[in-house]
């Protein structure tokens, strides 16, 4: 499958939000979003429910008009263009298939609207349906399909027009776990076959974001909090929210005591302090897999509160003066028992200092769980 058929103009690729603000009834739900998705890039928009992800997508599609700011597609300002003139494919949370049309006619619908030559349509429909494993269902009506199958038809319909920009709003949320991982692999393969298409992929599932995305834009409370490659966000989160939403994090309240030193309840620790001034309160972030067992630099002594076997690692939970510290330990011959004293340590370069949290800790716990 090529990005565009012979004779068909390539659809514009690349998205730019320029301080896009959206308000409903005076309430701002998207606050001055600045974000660029490069041609051919997969950008995940990751964030909790209500953070403004769907709103951002609808602003690109043209279904919602920004109160301020501009939207660009392929370098062209499309803020004033109606949705059907933007050349994008979109898959929404609800399937939105036409109930009276067969599967193949649902997929053909967008092609007809795009004036694809009639003779090409059946081949393009089959190709799109094959991509999502639905070719055998071409003659059924949506009501004769499961929810997951309907969503796959919706994906086929969005792809059939070979858009330059593909907007996916939680496209896998209706699929069961096995289909979901199959579809993730399909989407990744599809992206390799369509290297010029920009994909903006809305999800609140960090595994989907980490698997598919070249970069992740983290949204919270109507605002972009952070943006970077999965590795950058994981290694160098800028906020507590990112640290806990992308992967797991040990977050410890410290005070900066000097150049390269902080204090955790009277324990001196050596960490990079280039982001904070002496005397400042800060949050120390260390990823659980970078915490080692035994004595070493930055030793933390406490007691074991829980041990979980996770296949390739043991996750040891320790209580260090009332702070929970997680360590993901590999090749542990004799895991410690609950109640055992334990010493953990981490290297200076593996620690990141974050601005002291305005975050609600209960919320951070809700989102912790999966990821590297």
Ligand X SMILES: Nc1ncnc2c1ncn2[C@@H]1O[C@H](COP(=O)(O)OP(=O)(O)OP(=O)(O)O)[C@@H](O)[C@H]1O
What value does the CA radius of gyration of the chain take, rounded to a whole number of Å?
Answer: 24
Nearer to ligand X, 218 or 326 (CB): 218
Q: Is 298 in the site for Mg ion (CB under 5 A)?
A: no
Cα pseudo-dihedral 143, 148, 151, 155, rounded to 10: -130
Nearer to ligand X, 52 or 292 (CB): 52
| Minimum distance of ligand X from residue 167's CB (angstroms) | 12
Nearer to ligand X, 24 or 309 (CB): 24
Q: Is 204 in the site for ligand X (CB under 6 A)?
A: yes
Cβ pair 21, 68 in contact under 8 A? yes
Q: Is 54 in the site for ligand X (CB under 6 A)?
A: yes
Q: Is 309 in the site for ligand X (CB under 6 A)?
A: no
- From candidates 16, 53, 86, 104, binder to ligand X by CB under 6 A: 53
| Minimum distance of ligand X from residue 28's CB (angstroms) | 9
Specify the residue for token string 């950058």. 232
- # residues contacting Mg ion (CB under 5 A): 1
Q: DSSP string spanning 41-77?
A: -EEEEE--TTSSHHHHHHHHHTSS--SEEEEEETTEE
Nearer to ligand X, 204 or 287 (CB): 204
Tokens representing residue 133 in the block: 């494993």
With a CB cutoff of 8 Å and minimum separation 6, the contacts of 85 are 78
| Minimum distance of Mg ion from residue 93's CB (angstroms) | 6
Nearer to ligand X, 62 or 292 (CB): 62
Q: Is 246 in the site for ligand X (CB under 6 A)?
A: no
Q: Is 273 in the site for Mg ion (CB under 5 A)?
A: no
Nearer to ligand X, 60 or 264 (CB): 60
Cβ pair 317, 335 in contact under 8 A? no
- # residues contacting ligand X (CB under 6 A): 11
| Minimum distance of ligand X from residue 232's CB (angstroms) | 22
Cβ pair 27, 227 in contact under 8 A? no
Question: Which listed option, Mg ion, ligand X, none, makes contact with residue 51 (CB within 5 to 8 Å by class)?
Answer: ligand X
Give the number of other CB atoms < 10 A from CB of residue 107: 30
- From candidates 51, 116, 198, 248, binder to ligand X by CB under 6 A: 51
Nearer to Mg ion, 169 or 226 (CB): 169
Residue 162 dihedral angles phi and psi, to the nearest 5°: 50, 65
Q: Which residue is nearest to Mg ion (CB)?
A: 54
Which strand (E) or helix (H) includes residue 88?
Answer: strand 88-91
With a CB cutoff of 8 Å and minimum separation 6, the contacts of 287 are 234, 247, 248, 249, 250, 350, 372
Question: Which listed option, Mg ion, ligand X, none, makes contact with residue 244 (CB within 5 to 8 Å by class)?
Answer: none
Cβ pair 176, 26 in contact under 8 A? no
Which residues inside 5-64 make contact with Mg ion, applying CB under 5 A? 54
- Contact footprint for ligand X (CB under 6 A): 24, 29, 47, 49-55, 204
């Amino acid at each position: 499958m090529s990005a565009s058929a012979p004779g068909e103009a390539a659809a514009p690729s690349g998205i730019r939000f320029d301080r896009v603000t959206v308000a409903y009834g005076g309430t701002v739900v998207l606050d001055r979003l600045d974000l660029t998705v490069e041609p051919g890039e997969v950008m995940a928009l990751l964030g909790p429910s209500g953070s403004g992800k769907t709103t951002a997508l609808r602003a690109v599609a043209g279904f919602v008009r920004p109160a301020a700011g501009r939207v660009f597609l392929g370098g062209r300002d499309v803020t004033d263009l109606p949705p059907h003139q933007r050349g994008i494919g979109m898959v929404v949370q609800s399937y939105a298939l036409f109930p009276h049309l067969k599967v193949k006619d649902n997929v053909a619908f967008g092609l007809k609207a795009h004036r694809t030559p009639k003779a090409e349509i059946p081949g393009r429909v089959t190709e799109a349906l094959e991509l999502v494993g639905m070719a055998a269902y071409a003659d059924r009506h949506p009501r004769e399909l499961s929810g997951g199958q309907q969503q796959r038809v919706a994906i086929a319909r969005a792809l059939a027009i070979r858009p330059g920009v593909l907007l996916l709003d939680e496209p896998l949320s209706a699929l069961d776990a096995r289909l979901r991982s199959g579809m993730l692999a399909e989407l990744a393969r599809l992206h390799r076959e369509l290297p010029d298409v920009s994909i903006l992929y809305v999800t609140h599932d960090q595994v989907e974001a980490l698997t598919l995305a070249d970069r992740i834009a983290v949204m919270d409370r109507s605002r972009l909090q952070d943006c970077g490659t999965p590795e950058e966000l994981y290694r160098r989160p800028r906020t507590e929210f990112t640290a806990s939403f992308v992967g797991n994090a040990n977050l410890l309240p410290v005070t900066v005591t000097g150049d390269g030193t902080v204090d955790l309840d009277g324990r001196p620790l050596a960490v990079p302090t280039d982001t904070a001034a002496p005397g400042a309160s800060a949050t120390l972030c260390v990823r659980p897999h970078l915490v080692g067992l035994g004595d070493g630099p930055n030793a933390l002594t406490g007691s074991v509160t829980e041990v979980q076997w996770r296949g390739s690692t043991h996750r040891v939970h320790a209580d260090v003066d009332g702070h929970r510290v997680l360590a993901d330990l590999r090749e542990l011959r004799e895991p410690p028992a609950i109640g055992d004293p334990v010493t953990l340590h981490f290297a200076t370069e593996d620690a990141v200092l974050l601005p002291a949290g305005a975050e609600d800790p209960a919320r951070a716990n809700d989102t912790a769980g999966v990821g590297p």
